[in-house]
Amino acid sequence: MTDVLIVVALLLVAGAATAAVLNRDPMRQALVLSFLGLALALLFTFLQAPDVALSQLAVGSAVTPLMILLTVRKVRRRPGSGDGVDKPAGRER
Amino acid sequence: MSPRVRLWVFLVGAAGFAALFAAACLDLPAFGTVPHPYGVRAVHAALSHHTANVIASVNFDLRAFDTLGEESILFSAVIGTVVLLRQARDEHRKDPEPATVHPPVRRFALLTLPFALLVGLYVIAHGQISPGGGFQGGVVAATALHLLYIAADYRALERVRPLTLYEIGEAAGEAAYVITGLAAVLAGSAFLANVLPFGTLATLSSGGTAMVLNAAVGLEVTSGIVVLLARFLDQAVEIEEPGEGGGSPRDTRDSGGNGDDERERA
Amino acid sequence: MTVLPYLVAGWIFLIGVYGLVTSRDLIHAVGCLAVTQSSTYVLLLAVGYRNGGTAPVFADAPTDSRVVDPVVQALALTDIVVGATVTALLLALVVQLRKRHGTVDPDALSELKG
Amino acid sequence: MSTSDGWLAAALVPLLALVPVLWRIAYGSPGDRLIGQNLTSLLAGLVLLLAAQGFHRTSYNDVALVVSVLGPTGTLIYARFLDVLPDSRLVRWTALVGVPATVLPLCVATGPGRAMAKLLLIGVLLIAGSVVTSGRGAREGVTA
């Protein structure tokens, strides 16, 4: 049964990693990275590494995405300048 | 290099890597079958030093010198970030506008804050007994402090967060680690050797110097992450470049969420 | 199952590098680097796993129980936290680049250099 | 150490529920993504609790404890930056039904003691965090 959990978690991690790379807007990427952090934490728990899971949880699901969000906010504050923003806001629905 | 050429170079490299990596994987022992001689020895060494959490023992006892290196990377990375994100001469500070927070959110955050700090300290303190330790607990405690940013707002956070204190705390953590190592030399042993009494397995005071080093790392990581987040928050919320117009940063935001948000309000 | 964890680690590495190569935004590139980093954790922990093993934490387990390898866990554990501060350093560099050159597109930046 | 397959099979349920949540986070609107983030930490907490029981290791519950503290914190901070905190019935009901349905059997299995107190604490934190971050009207406060 542990094996089944590990396989599902592995596939979840692979999917989350792919989604994190394919989301080109850093604002969206930050939330996917936070999901990836949690998925990795689950995988590490199933691999009997709760210490590493704790570490990954705190860093991957909170600190890294938060810093990315803050950088995005800083970088995009100056109005009307060309950023590397390649997703217009309206595309999301 | 044009993007097209770069992509081709990547594809060729990736194909090569994939082929070699897959071949290597097929040659590896199957997942979860082989015992590791070093792992077995590490477990014996940790138990002989009365440390219940073998991972903490590896980090702070068997490979303590290695962790000193890791800690120094962390230390210098934080210093580098602080230098890069300091307020330049042509930038000016402006007070962020106070935000109003919905009462349930504020109440929840204020109630959770002390509790979350406590969880962080618990994770640090129980490093040598249960899963946890200075590295993980430090991050939890530092993130917990930023609950205040939601609970009240940025200015309240600045008031309870004397940044200098955390900068000193970070340096003190690093220094404490080195001093503990040197103390072992003074006691007539090797640098970072475990010279303190080992205590009883699975109690708070077990593990000898592992416990002290764990606390030093906890102090450094907590302070380091708080300083990092503070610098980023400063840049994002307070510091303005000369070209930027006045007004609140929220007005000039250009995030992916903006368009949808307007529509939702309409 | 015998090789799947290793292959997943390889996939995460490749997709992360793909993101780095094709990125048009340095912040996105830093995120991709974080993804690439996580592949090493998956590989390390997969190598250290043992069927039927439990965590080498003996506070609530008998000391003679079969455990997974603690050494690789210690490696991954410290690297995660140190990696986060390095990510912060890279993001700080991005903020500075944006200030000096007004863009975070790596291609536009290399054009500036000439 | 032996494992209990029943508990691990139960852990599979919230774990599989994370798959559509990933889809929502990757391709949804900003509101959807925040709901997804909120659901992720809630479901992950449940998976961790069930897995800890399945592996017979009470010390694994510490991971769930940290999720229950950091999850809502993360959601609220993102809400601050994305300027949305959507009202979500899905999150609220998952918390109000899913958490008791997980924690109470776990408490019965553990029996009274420190471990049970910790379980109840994690349960309360998970429910409180989810209800506050998905509550009606929370949105106005954050966007103001």
* Secondary structure of C4-68 as H, E, C letters: HHHHHHHHHHHHHHHHHHHCCCHHHHHHHHHHHHHHHHHHHHHHHCCCCCECCECCCCCCCCCEC
Residue ranges making up the domain that contains A46:
1-61
Radius of gyration of chain D (CA): 15
Rounded to the nearest angstrom, the gap between the alpha carbon of residue D99 and the centroid of all alpha carbons in its chain is: 8
For residue A45, is it within any domain? yes
Print the SS3 string covering chain B: CCHHHHHHHHHHHHHHHHHHHHHHHHHCCCCCCCCCHHHHHHHHHHHHCCCCEHHHHHHHHHCHHHHHHHHHHHHHHHHHHHHHCCCCCCCEECCCCCCCCCHHHHHHHHHHHHHHHHHHHHHHHCCCCCCCCHHHHHHHHHHHHCHHHHHCCHHHHHHCCCHHHHHHHHHHHHHHHHHHHHHHHHCCCCCCCCCCCCCCCCCCCCCCHHHHHHHHHHHHHHHHHHHHHHHHHHHHHHEECCCCCCCCCCCCCCCCCHHHHHHHHC
What is the average per-residue pLDDT within B197-208? Answer: 76
Task: Note the pLDDT of residue B244.
Answer: 54
- How far apart, in whole angstroms, are the C-alpha atoms of residue A91 and residue B16? 36
Is residue B249 predicted with pLDDT exceeding 50? no
Smallest Cα distance from D46 to chain A, Å: 11
Which residues lie closer than 8 Å to A31 by C-beta, 6 or more apart?
A65, D25, D33, D34, D36, D37, D78
pLDDT band, residue B143 (cuts 50/70/90):
confident
Search chain D and give the residue with CA nearest C55: D57
- Residue B248: pLDDT over 80: no
The pair of structure tokens assigned to A43 is 């995988």
Q: Is D88 helix (H, G, I), strand (E, B) or coil?
A: coil
In a domain? residue B264: no
Which chain A residues are Cβ-neighbours of B255 within 8 angstroms? 27, 72-73, 76, 89
Q: What is the mean pLDDT of chain B?
A: 81
Domain that holds residue B227: 9-242
Residue B255 lies in a domain: no
For the stretch D21-76, pLDDT in tens is: 999 898 888 888 888 888 999 999 999 999 999 998 888 889 999 999 988 888 88
Q: Which residues numbered 116-135 in D keep a CB inside 8 Å of some CB on B?
A: 125, 128-129, 132-133, 135
The letter for the amino acid at D85 is L
**Which residues of chain A fall below pLDDT 50?**
80-93
B131 interaction partners in chain D (CB closer than 8 Å) = 59-60, 62-63
Q: Which whole number is the average pLDDT over D2-15?
A: 88
Q: How confident is the model at residue B147 (pLDDT cuts 50, 70, 90)?
A: confident
Write phi, then psi, for D133 (nearest 5 degrees). Answer: -80, -5
- Asked whether the predicted pLDDT for residue B259 surpasses 50, the reply is no
User: Contact D19/A12 with Cβ under 8 angstroms?
Assistant: yes
Model confidence band, residue C33 (pLDDT cutoffs 50, 70, 90): very high
d(CA D141, CA D144): 6
| B3 inside domain | no
The answer to whether the CB atoms of D36 and A35 lie below 8 A apart is yes
B92: β partners: B240
Does C108 score more than 90 pLDDT?
no
Q: Which residue of A has its CA nearest to D61?
A: A50
pLDDT band at B242; cut points 50, 70, 90: low
Q: Which residues of D touch B143 (CB under 8 A)?
A: 70, 73
Indicate the pLDDT class of residue D137, thresholds 50, 70 and 90: low
Q: Chain D interface, mutation test: which of A45, A47, A66, most D Cβ atoms within 10 Å?
A: A45
Q: Does C59 touch chain D (CB under 8 A)?
A: yes
- Residues of chain A in contact with residue C55, where contact means CB-CB under 8 angstroms, are 48-51
Average pLDDT over residues C2-17: 93
Give the rounded distance of the alpha carbon of A22 from its chain centre.
Answer: 11
Angle, helices A2-22 vs D5-27, to 10°: value is 10
First-residue to last-residue Cα distance in chain B: 46
CB contact under 8 A, A66 and B140: no
Residue A31 lies in a domain: yes
- Map residue A25 onto helix, strand or coil: coil
**Chain C: partners with 3+ C-beta pairs within 8 Å:** A, B, D
B79: Cα separation from own chain's centroid: 14
**Cβ contacts from C onto D, under 8 A:** 17
For residues B31 and B16, give the distance between their C-alpha atoms in angstroms, rounded to a whole number. 24
Q: Which fold has domain C4-113?
A: Helix Hairpins (1.10.287)
In angstroms, the CA B254 to CA B245 distance is 14
User: Where residue C104 falls among pLDDT bands split at 50, 70, 90?
Assistant: confident
**pLDDT score of D144 more than 70:** no
Nearest C-alpha of chain D: how many angstroms from B26?
28
Phi–psi pair at B38, nearest 5 degrees: -65, -40
What confidence category does residue C17 fall into, taking pLDDT thresholds of 50, 70 and 90?
Answer: very high
Shortest distance between the Cα of B150 and any Cα of chain A, in A, equals 13
Q: Residues of D with CB below 8 A from A77's CB?
A: none
C64 touches chain B (CB under 8 A): no
Question: Using the beta-carbon criterion (under 8 Å), do B115 and D137 form an inter-chain contact?
Answer: no
pLDDT confidence of residue B250: 40
The Cα-based distances of C99 to B67, C111, D144 in angstroms read: 35, 17, 29
Phi, psi (degrees; rounded to nearest 5) at C15: -65, -35
Asked if C54 has any chain D CB less than 8 Å from its own CB, the reply is yes
Nearest to B255 by CA among A70, D50, C104: A70
| Per-residue pLDDT tens over the stretch D69-82 | 988 888 888 887 77
Q: Total structural domains in chain A?
A: 1
Average pLDDT, chain D: 85
More confident of the two residues D139 and A62: A62
Q: Which of A3, A26, A52 sits opposite C45 (nearest CB)?
A: A52
Q: Which residue of A has its CA nearest to B235?
A: A74
Segment B30-42 mean pLDDT: 86
Cα angle for residues D66, D69, D74 (degrees, 5° grid): 110
Interface probe for C, chosen from A29, A32, A36, A76 (most Cβ of C below 10 Å), is A29
Residue D132: pLDDT over 50: yes
- % of chain B residues with pLDDT over 70: 87
Quick one: average pLDDT of B75-100?
A: 81
pLDDT at B258: 39
Residues of chain B with pLDDT > 90: what percent? Answer: 22
Give how many domains chain B has, as a whole number.
1
pLDDT at D83 over 80: no
> What pLDDT was estimated at residue B237?
79
* pTM for this predicted structure: 0.89
For range C6-35, the mean pLDDT = 93
CB pairs under 8 A between A and B: 92
Asked if residue B207 belongs to a domain, the reply is yes
For residues D72-97, average pLDDT: 82
Q: Give Cα B158 distance to the centre of its chain.
A: 20
Q: Is the pLDDT of residue D123 over 60?
A: yes
Q: pLDDT at position B209, please? A: 83
Q: Is residue C29 within 8 Å of residue C106, measured between CB atoms? A: yes
Counting the structural domains of chain D, the total is 1
Characterize A29-58 residue by residue with b for buried, 16 or more Cβ atoms within 10 angstroms of its Cβ, and e for exposed.
Answer: bbbbbbbbbbbbbbbbbbbbbbbbbbbbbb
Compare CB distances from B132 to A54, A79, A88 and report the shortest one's residue. A54
Percent with pLDDT over 70 in chain C: 96
Contact in structure between C31 and A20 (CB atoms under 8 Å):
yes
Query: Both tokens of residue B132?
Result: 């946890």
| pLDDT confidence of residue A12 | 95
A66 part of a folded domain: no
- Find the mean pLDDT for residues B189-196: 81
Flag whether A30 is in a domain: yes
Return the minimum-mean-pLDDT range out of B251-255, D5-9, D77-81.
Answer: B251-255
Mean pLDDT value of segment B195-199: 79
Inter-chain contacts counted by CB atoms under 8 A, chains B and C: 162
> CA angle A74-D81-B158, nearest 5°?
75
User: Are D128 and B260 within 8 A, CB to CB?
Assistant: no
Query: Residues of B with CB below 8 A from C39's CB?
Result: none
Q: What is the ipTM of this complex?
A: 0.89
Q: Is residue B154 part of a domain?
A: yes
Residue B32 falls in which region: left (phi positive, over 0), alpha (psi -120 to 50) or beta:
left
Residues spanned by the domain of D22: 5-143
Average pLDDT over residues C58-75: 87
What does the pLDDT read at residue C113? 62
Cβ-Cβ contacts under 8 Å, B146 against chain D: 73, 77
Contact indicator for D62, B130 with CB cutoff of 8 Å: yes
Say yes or no for a CB contact (<8 Å) between D44 and A38.
yes
- Tell me if chain B has a CB within 8 Å of the CB of D69: yes
Share of chain D above pLDDT 90, in %: 28
Q: Is the dihedral of CA B201, B202, B205, B208 positive or negative?
A: positive
- Calculate how close chain D gets to C52, using CA atoms only, in Å: 6
Structure confidence at residue C5 (pLDDT): 92
